[in-house]
Amino acid sequence: MSTMTVSRPGLEQPTRPVYRVTGLRVLRSEWAKLWSLRSTWITLGLGLVFLVAFGLIAAAQYTPQPASTEGMRGEFAGATAVSLSLFGLTFAQLALGVLGVLVTAGEYSTGMIRSTLAAVPRRLPVLWAKSAVFGVVALVLGVIGVFVTFVIAGGMVSGTPAALSLSDPGVVRSLLGAGLYLGLVGVIGAALGALLRSVAGGISVLVAVMMLIPGLMQLLPASWQDKVGPYLPSNAGQSLYALTHDSTSLSPTAGLAVFLGWTVLVLAGAAYRLKRTDA
């Protein structure tokens, strides 16, 4: 005995809405995922604290006299309000770079990347969205941090040879360059996480490239240092926010071009692996 299902005329079966994957929707998704993680708030907070606190500590330690017997104070004898304000940039870049690695590599460690790529089959929009979202967040955080630190630190060294104001030549360019540098470091961290697919591996490479290799360059002959040193990622990035330049460093424009080149190179490597290999 068989049964037949008779559909009544005019009675339509309910259908689920079909959502089209667009770049804007991928951006919104990555924005929501970024702020849903507790590590995002903690690490961004640490980056801001490093940037502001170390800058203010440096300003408090500043003295115009080269007092070699006062230990740490002598190191800031020839400093400016800009260099004092950016003293914590090295620590902030580490925090933001590490968070950039976690943004991408963290999904590989938890397996969530499979769900992400199932929702966005073309894959590459995921990488672009993650990098863009976190890069903008790091840029905004960096710009706010350096300007706040400069205003406070500038008041602390007012009336000394280190005193500078926002109207002085190169000051605004240096502060904006520092924020841009932190934003690009965040993008590099996200790209390294997608390229290596390992939190530990991404952080290790980031620390080596941005902090260890420039120090090891001091062991090479002086001719190598002059020819290769300025084109390392960290040294090229430093030229973005340096107030003054000499023959051993790149100009701000050249430094930006080189640092962007390194960023694009890492992104290209991450895009190639994401497109060619399985998650």
- 67 vs 278: CA distance, rounded Å: 60
Query: Distance between CA 33 and CA 134 in Å, rounded?
Result: 11
For the chain, the residue count is 279
pLDDT of residue 127 exceeding 50: yes
Nearest to 61 by CA among 93, 91, 94, 83: 83
**Residue 1 — very low, low, confident or very high, per pLDDT cuts 50/70/90?**
very low
Q: 266-277, pLDDT tens digit by residue?
A: 999 999 999 988
Angle at 91 between CA 68 and CA 255, to 5 degrees: 90
Q: What is the pLDDT of residue 88?
A: 94
| C-alpha span between 178 and 184 (Å, rounded) | 10
Mean pLDDT of 140-167: 92
| Per-residue confidence (pLDDT) for residue 200, from 0 to 100 | 94
Predicted pLDDT of residue 118: 86
The pLDDT value given to residue 77: 64
User: Mean pLDDT across the stretch 171-198?
Assistant: 95
Rounded to an integer, the average pLDDT of 104-131 is 90
Looking at mean pLDDT, say which of 5-14, 219-228, 262-271 comes out highest: 262-271
Check residue 221 and give its pLDDT.
78
What gap in Å lies between CA 145 and CA 178, rounded to an integer? 10
How sure is the predictor about 14, in pLDDT bands with cuts at 50, 70 and 90?
low
CA distance 243 to 254: 15
Q: Give the residue from 80, 121, 260, 104 showing the smallest Cα distance to 190.
A: 104
Q: Percent helix, strand, coil in the chain (nearest 5)?
A: 75, 0, 25
- CA–CA dist 94, 215 (Å, integer): 16
Q: Report how far Cα 167 is from the mean position of its chain's Cα atoms.
A: 27
Among residues 181, 187, 194, 186, which one has the least CA distance to residue 242? Answer: 181
DSSP character for 127? H
- Whether 106 and 192 have beta carbons less than 8 Å apart is answered as no
Whole-number Cα distances in Å, 116 to 57, 124, 202: 43, 11, 20
Q: How far is CA 46 from the centre of its chain?
A: 14
- Residue 101 has a pLDDT of 96
Average pLDDT in the chain: 87
Rounded to an integer, the average pLDDT of 175-191 is: 96
Q: Is the pLDDT of residue 114 over 80?
A: yes
Dist. CA 101–CA 109, nearest whole Å: 11
Joined tokens for residue 168: 């002085």
Lowest mean pLDDT segment, chosen from 165-169, 204-208, 246-250: 246-250
Question: What is the band of 233 on the pLDDT scale with cuts at 50, 70, 90?
Answer: very high
- pLDDT tens, 64-109? 765 454 544 555 667 899 999 999 999 999 999 999 999 999 998 8
Residue range 15-65, pLDDT digits in tens:
555 567 787 889 999 999 999 988 899 999 999 999 999 999 999 988 876
E strand intervals along 88-246: none
